[in-house]
Structure 1
Amino acid sequence: MKQEDFSFKTLQAITDNLYIGIYVTDGSGKAIYINKTFEDISLLKKEDLLGHDINELVKKKYFTASATVLTLNTKQPSVVTYITKAGKKLLSRAKPVFGNNKELTLIVNSVYDVTEFDYKGELDFDSKINIDGFQQFIAYNKKMLEILDFVSHIALVDSTVLITGETGTGKEVLAKLIHSLSKRKNKPFIKVNCAAIPENLIETELFGYEPGAFTGASPRGKKGFFEIANNSTLFLDEIGELPLNTQAKLLQVLQDKKFTKVGSPKLIEVDVRIIAATNRKLEEMMEKNLFRQDLYYRLNVIPIDLPPLRERLDDIEPISTYIVQRMNNKYGFEKTLSRELIEFFKLLPWKGNIRELENVIEKLLVVVPRKEITKEDFLKLERTKKSEINPKQLISDCEKEVLLKLLSSSKSMRDMANKLGVSKATVIRKLKQYNISVHK
C-alpha cells in the first residue's frame, strides 16, 4: 500500500484491531477519536464521548479520574487508573503531542483493562485474606512513569517481584496493579500480612495442615495461603517479618513449586506467582543473620524500589486533587485546597507518604467548614494535634498496664489467656510487642 492510499478508514481498521484502547483528544481535552477496543473494555459507546470535553465527562461520572486532565494541566505524560460509568477498571497512559508552534494539539491515551474477575469462590478460610479492592494509582513524576512502564512489561511474566519502599508509598497498590495486568487477573489477588500472624501460626497459615495434625486442629484440616492462591498471585507483605524457620520452607516452595502441609508427608504442587514487599532493609538483615541470603536472591528476581513522596513532589498536586475529589464524592462536599497549601505540602517530609497525605486531607475537609482550605487551616490543625492526647498511645499504655498486672497474678500463660478471653498465642504476641519479660 502506498502512503497516499493510507486513509482514515485504514487507520481505523488498524487501531480497532489493537489489544489496547485508544482515546484521543484535541489540545483542549475534547474527544476526537476512539477505537473499538476502548469501547469494548470501557463498556461505553463512542457516540456518548466524541465531541465532549473530558472535564465534563468526569463531572458526569463517565470516569472517576482522567490522565487527559492531568496532562492538560501539566503538558507532561501521565498515568492514571480509574473506573468507568459502567464499572470497568482501566489504566490510562496519556502522552501530549505538540505542533510546530509548541502548542498542545493532541493528547493520546493508551488504555488497558485492569478489571479483575469478581471471584466469589470458597473464601471462608480466614479473615486475613484480602481480595482485591480498587485503589487509585496516579503518576506524573518521571521516576514513577518509568516504574509503571517497567511494570507493564514484567506483569506478563511469572518471575518473583520484590517491592521495597517506605511505609505508605503504595507497595500493595503496585502489587495489585501487576496482578491486574497479568494473565492471572481472573483469579483472586491474595494478600498475606506476614507481620500480623503470630510466629507459631505462620507455617500453618501459609501451608495449611491435615485433620488432627496437632492439638486443637480443625477436624477438617485447613488450606494454607499457597494452596488457595494456586494459579494466582500471592502477595507477601512485610516479608522481612518472617521467622527464619518459615523462611527455609518458603525458599523450598520458590525453588521446587512444592510444599507439604503440617502433619502430612504428601507433596502438593502449586503454580503461584509471588510478589513480596517490605519497608525493611533486607541487606542489613542478612548481615545480622535475620534474613536468609538464598531466600533474598530468590525473591529479588525483579526488584522495584518505590520512591518516597518527598522525592516525587510533582505528584503531590495530582494526588491531592484526586483525594479531594474522592472525599467530596464521599461526603457530598464541594471543597478545594488553596494553591498556597498545595505548595506548602511540597515542603513537608511526609514520613507516612501517600497514606499520611490522604489522612491529612480528609481531616482538613471534615474539620474546616469553608469551601477553600488554606495553609493556615493546616497549621491550626497541626497545633491542635500537638496539644491533644494521642488516643492510640493511651490505649497502648492501658493495655500494657493490664498485661503487667495479670502477669504477676497468673499461674501460667494459659491462665492469663483465659482471664483475658484470648488465645495463648495472642498473649505471647502482646507480651513480645510491649517487651514484657516472661522469665516468671
Structure 2
Amino acid sequence: MNTTMNQEWMQSLLSSFHNGVIVIDRYNQIVFLNDAAKQLLHLEGEEWKGKDIFALLPETKLPHVAKTGERMIGTEAIIHGRTFLVNRTPFYENGELAGAVAVLQDFNEIEHYRQLSKQMETIIEFSTDGIYVVDGNGITLMVNSAYEQITGFRREELIGRHMEELVREGYFDQSVSLLVLKQKQRISMLQTIGGKKDVIVTGNPVFNEQGDIEMVVTSVRDISELNKLKLELEKAKSFSQLNQHRYTFSVDNREEAMICRSPAMKTLIDKVMQIAAYPTTVLLTGPSGVGKEVIANLIHYLSPRKDAPFIKVNCAAIPESLLESELFGYEKGAFTGAQAGGKIGLFELADGGTILLDEIGEMPLSLQVKLLRVLQEKRIQRIGGRKAKALDVRVIAATNQDLQKQMEAGLFRADLYYRLHVVELYVPPLSERPQDIEPLLDHYFSFFCEQYRIPKKLSPAAKAVLERYHWPGNVRELKNLMENLVVSVPSRCIEPDDLPSHIRRQMESPSASTLKEKVEQYEKQLVFETLEAAPSLRKAAEQLGIDHSTLVKKLQRWGIAKRPRP
C-alpha cells in the first residue's frame, strides 16, 4: 500500500489538485496530504506522516469509509471554524479495501463560484446579442432576453427541446448548433427565423477535457435592418460617385450624379429635376430592370420631402388578401386575426413624404377603386374605421406592363390610370440607349472589385463583346453579370472566353439579314439557353414543347453533336 502511494507520479497528481486531499490506510493512519490539505489544516513539514487521522480531525468520518467501503458524498464538515464540502470514497488494492480518500472544498470558494455564475448569467441575459445554448446532444439549455426580442420566441417554447424538432416545426430554416455538433468547429451562417427575419448566427463549440463537445453557444444578431441599409447605401453610391459619364445635380449642397451618356437618359433626368419639386403624381414605365426604382429615389431625394419618409411597396409581392390592410391599415377588431391595437397602414407611414407603388399593374381591381378614392380625396380610412384622416403623400407608381392594354382587357381601371398618368416618365431599356452600356460596365465592374477587394481587369475584347450584347435584363442583368465575373472568374484579366456562353454564342453568330435567318438565330438562342438550364436533352425538349427527335435534328443541322458547353 505505502509503496504504491509514495510513487512520485501519484504524489504529483494529487498535489496539483486545488481542493484538499487526505488519504488514510485501513488502520486510520495518514499516508498522504496534498499541499491544499496542509494549508487547510494549518500543517507544515512532514510531522503528519503516519499519524492517526483522529489526532488531526477528532470528529472525522473518514475511518468509517475505510472500514465499511461506504461512500459519503457532498456532506458538510467544520474544520478549524471553517465549513467544507467533503466527498469521502474508499479505494481498493488487489480487490481488497485498502483505505479511504477525502476531498475537501471550501464553502467560501463554492459561494464565490456561485456568485461568478450568477454574474455570468446576468451578463448573458443583458447582452444585446441573442444567446442560444444547447448541450452536446442538441437539447436547448438556455436563451437570453435579447434572443426572445430578436426572434419573437419565448424561452418556454424552446428550453428542453431538441433542435431537430424545432427545425421541423418551422422555428428555424436550419440549425447552426446541429452543424457545429456534426463538424466540431465554429460555424457562422445566415438564418431565417420564423420564415421572416434574417439573422447572422455564430455557433461556438465548448469542449470538455476528453475532447467531446459539452455544449454549443450560439450568438445571434439581427441583420434585417443592415440589409435594408446596405441596399439603400448601394443606391446612394450610384448617385454620389462621380466620373466623366455622370450627370450631376445638387442635393443638400453636395454634388450627386447618375450614370448616363445617352441623350434619352439625360432628357429623362432633366425632366425629373423639373418635376421633383412639385407634389404631382408620377407614373414610371419601362421594361423590367431598367432602374425605375432608382428614378423614384432621385425624385424623392430632389424634392422638398427628402427628409420625410419614403415608403416602397411592391404590389405584386404582397398577397391580395393582405394588400388592403398593408396599404390602409385597420382598427382594433376590424377582422378575425387583427392585432389587438390595430395597425397603421403604409400610406399613413408615408404621410408628409413619398410612397412608391411598384408593379402597380398587379393591383387587384377591387383595391384600385379604394386607391383612386385616396388619390382624389387625399384622405385615408382604415379598415373597420369610421373616421378619415387627411394625408399629404406624393404617389409614384411604377410598372413594366402596358397599362393601356391592361385597361382594354378590363384588368386596370381607366379612371385610376388617368389619375396616375399626370406625369409619365419612360425609362428606356439599354437596347434603346447603347451609349450608356460602357459607363455602366466601367462603374459596376469597378464597384464590385472595390467591394470585394479583388483587383481585376476587363479586357478590351471582353468589353467589346459586352457592349454589343442586347441586355434583355437591362441594368439589373448588367450589374449582376459584373458581380458574377468579379467573384467567379479566377484569372485577373477577364477575356471573352470567361463570359457566359449565351453571350459568347450571340456574338459568334453571323449577322442575320433575312427574316428566316433572324428567326433561326432567335431559335438557336432560345434552344441554347434552355439546354443550359435543363438536366438533359429530353427535359430540354419538354420545356421547348417539341419532340426529343426534333431537338436532336435541329442540333445536327446546326452542326452541334452534343450539348454546348456552359
- Cα drift, residue 114 of structure 1: 8.4
Q: Quick one: which amino acid aligns to residue 66 of structure 1?
A: L
Gaps of 5+ in 2: 1-236, 505-527, 536-566
- Listed one character per residue, the Cα deviations across residues 399-439 of structure 1 (whole Å, up to 9, x for unaligned) are xxxxxxxxxxxxxxxxxxxxxxxxxxxxxxxxxxxxxxxxx
SS of equivalent residue, structure 1 residue 168: coil
Write the distance in 1 (CA, Å) between the matches of 2:485 and 2:352.
43
Write the distance in 2 (CA, Å) between the matches of 1:171 and 1:192.
13
Q: Quick one: which amino acid aligns to residue 309 of structure 2?
A: P
2:317 matches 1:196: yes
1:241-256 superposed matches below 5 A:
241-256=362-377
- Relative distance call for 1:250 and 1:264 in structure 2 (3 A) is same
- Cα drift, residue 203 of structure 1: 1.0
2:256 matches 1:112: no
1:11-410 superposed matches below 5 A:
65-67=241-243, 69-70=244-245, 78-79=246-247, 92=248, 111-113=250-252, 137-380=258-501, 389=533
- Listed one character per residue, the Cα deviations across residues 245-282 of structure 1 (whole Å, up to 9, x for unaligned) are 11001000111101211001211110000000000000
Write the distance in 1 (CA, Å) between the matches of 2:253 and 2:299.
9
Q: Quick one: which amino acid aligns to residue 195 of structure 1?
A: A
- Relative distance call for 1:64 and 1:334 in structure 2 (3 A) is farther
SS of equivalent residue, structure 2 residue 499: helix
- Listed one character per residue, the Cα deviations across residues 92-138 of structure 1 (whole Å, up to 9, x for unaligned) are 25xxxxxxxxxxxxxxxxx43388xxxxxxxxxxxxxxxxxx9x831
Write the distance in 2 (CA, Å) between the matches of 1:139 and 1:206.
34
8 Å Cα contact 2:309/2:351 also seen in 1: no
Write the distance in 1 (CA, Å) between the matches of 2:319 and 2:253.
34
- Cα drift, residue 232 of structure 1: 0.3
SS of equivalent residue, structure 1 residue 303: strand
- Cα drift, residue 361 of structure 1: 1.5
Match in the other structure for 1:21: none
SS of equivalent residue, structure 2 residue 372: helix
Identity of aligned residues (%): 47
- Listed one character per residue, the Cα deviations across residues 27-52 of structure 1 (whole Å, up to 9, x for unaligned) are xxxxxxxxxxxxxxxxxxxxxxxxxx
- Relative distance call for 1:145 and 1:303 in structure 2 (3 A) is same
- Relative distance call for 1:390 and 1:305 in structure 2 (3 A) is farther
The alignment's TM-score, normalised by the length of structure 1, stands at 0.59
- Listed one character per residue, the Cα deviations across residues 77-105 of structure 1 (whole Å, up to 9, x for unaligned) are x41xxxxxxxxxxxx25xxxxxxxxxxxx
- Relative distance call for 1:251 and 1:379 in structure 2 (3 A) is closer
Q: Quick one: which amino acid aligns to residue 490 of structure 2?
A: P
- Cα drift, residue 379 of structure 1: 4.4
8 Å Cα contact 1:65/1:322 also seen in 2: no
8 Å Cα contact 1:191/1:235 also seen in 2: yes
- Relative distance call for 1:113 and 1:387 in structure 2 (3 A) is farther
Write the distance in 2 (CA, Å) between the matches of 1:114 and 1:385.
48
160-169 vs 310-319, greater mean Cα deviation: 310-319
371-380 vs 172-181, greater mean Cα deviation: 371-380
- Relative distance call for 1:188 and 1:390 in structure 2 (3 A) is farther
Write the distance in 2 (CA, Å) between the matches of 1:333 and 1:181.
34
SS of equivalent residue, structure 1 residue 261: coil
Q: Quick one: which amino acid aligns to residue 139 of structure 1?
A: C
Question: What is the alpha-carbon root mean square deviation over aligned residues?
Answer: 2.4
Write the distance in 1 (CA, Å) between the matches of 2:324 and 2:500.
47
Between Structure 1 and Structure 2, whose CA radius of gyration is higher? Answer: 2
SS of equivalent residue, structure 1 residue 220: coil
Q: Quick one: which amino acid aligns to residue 112 of structure 1?
A: V
More strand by share: 2
8 Å Cα contact 1:114/1:181 also seen in 2: no
SS of equivalent residue, structure 1 residue 356: helix
8 Å Cα contact 2:458/2:495 also seen in 1: yes
Structure ranking higher on relative contact order (CA contacts 8 Å, 6+ apart)? 1
- Listed one character per residue, the Cα deviations across residues 299-318 of structure 1 (whole Å, up to 9, x for unaligned) are 01000001001111111111
- Cα drift, residue 342 of structure 1: 2.1
Write the distance in 2 (CA, Å) between the matches of 1:182 and 1:259.
23
8 Å Cα contact 1:165/1:306 also seen in 2: yes
Write the distance in 2 (CA, Å) between the matches of 1:180 and 1:239.
22
- Relative distance call for 1:275 and 1:363 in structure 2 (3 A) is same
Write the distance in 1 (CA, Å) between the matches of 2:285 and 2:330.
31
The alignment's TM-score, normalised by the length of structure 2, stands at 0.46
8 Å Cα contact 2:309/2:352 also seen in 1: no
Write the distance in 2 (CA, Å) between the matches of 1:170 and 1:144.
11
8 Å Cα contact 1:190/1:235 also seen in 2: yes
Write the distance in 2 (CA, Å) between the matches of 1:144 and 1:390.
38
Write the distance in 2 (CA, Å) between the matches of 1:323 and 1:252.
42
8 Å Cα contact 2:309/2:349 also seen in 1: no
Q: Quick one: which amino acid aligns to residue 433 of structure 2?
A: R
Write the distance in 1 (CA, Å) between the matches of 2:309 and 2:425.
22
- Cα drift, residue 349 of structure 1: 2.1
- Listed one character per residue, the Cα deviations across residues 166-209 of structure 1 (whole Å, up to 9, x for unaligned) are 00000001001100000000012110000011111111111000
- Relative distance call for 1:381 and 1:240 in structure 2 (3 A) is closer
Q: Quick one: which amino acid aligns to residue 327 of structure 1?
A: F
8 Å Cα contact 1:114/1:180 also seen in 2: no
SS of equivalent residue, structure 1 residue 163: strand
Write the distance in 1 (CA, Å) between the matches of 2:341 and 2:425.
40
8 Å Cα contact 2:312/2:357 also seen in 1: yes
Q: Quick one: which amino acid aligns to residue 169 of structure 1?
A: V
Q: Quick one: which amino acid aligns to residue 436 of structure 2?
A: D
